Amino acid sequence: MSLDKKDQQLLTLLQSNARTSVSELATTVSLSDTPCLRRIKKLEASKVISGYHAALNPRALGLNVLVYAFVRLSQNSVSAANMFEEQVEKLNHVLECSVISGSYDYLLKIIAADLESYESFVKHKLGSINCIANIESTVVLKQTFSKKQLPL
């Protein structure tokens, strides 16, 4: 899939605001509505655009704590990994799960109401997955920024 200048502009605009109307997008990129819409549909069909999502303000929902948790499993078997990944995906407070290089196996991005509920979450929810050897939590003291824009 090759992206020309106009495709890139459209992607930038849609990443910034997914609800921009096609006619406004078309005007901005100097196209008329139909070819503009055709491009967007093509970007969706080719999975360059994977979806459109409302971003919520965690604070407004009472979610004030963000933590990166490093996890090491007690066994390096495929079945332990699969079971861990399956279990952890069910936990709504875990927003992201990555297999990483280095001395830990996984990096989890976890959100919680406060440090107390995070502690409780680690103890009762994460802790109940029995193939975990140990967990190291890195608390985010402040999010300097978070971009919704990929470099093109």
Footprint on this chain of DNA (rule: CB under 7 A): 6, 21-24, 30-39, 41
Question: Closest approach of Cβ 56 to DNA, in Å?
Answer: 18
Q: Which does 52 bind (CB under 5 to 8 A by kind): its own copies, DNA, none?
A: its own copies
Could you tell me if 84 and 96 are in contact, meaning their C-beta atoms sit under 8 angstroms apart? no
- Which range in 26-34, 72-80, 91-99, 127-135 contacts its own copies by CB under 8 A? 91-99
Residues 126, 150: Cα–Cα separation, whole Å: 31
Please, which residues have CB within 8 angstroms of residue 16's CB and are 6 or more apart in sequence? Answer: 148, 149
**b/e code 113-147 from CB counts within 10 Å (16+ = b):** beeeebeebbeebbeebebbeeeeeeeeeeeeeee
* DSSP state for residue 103 in the 8-state scheme: S
18 binds its own copies (CB under 8 A): yes
Q: Which is nearer to DNA, 22 or 107 (CB)?
A: 22
Site residues, its own copies (CB under 8 A): 1, 3, 11, 14-19, 46-58, 60-61, 63, 66, 68, 85, 88-89, 92-102, 106-107, 111, 138-152
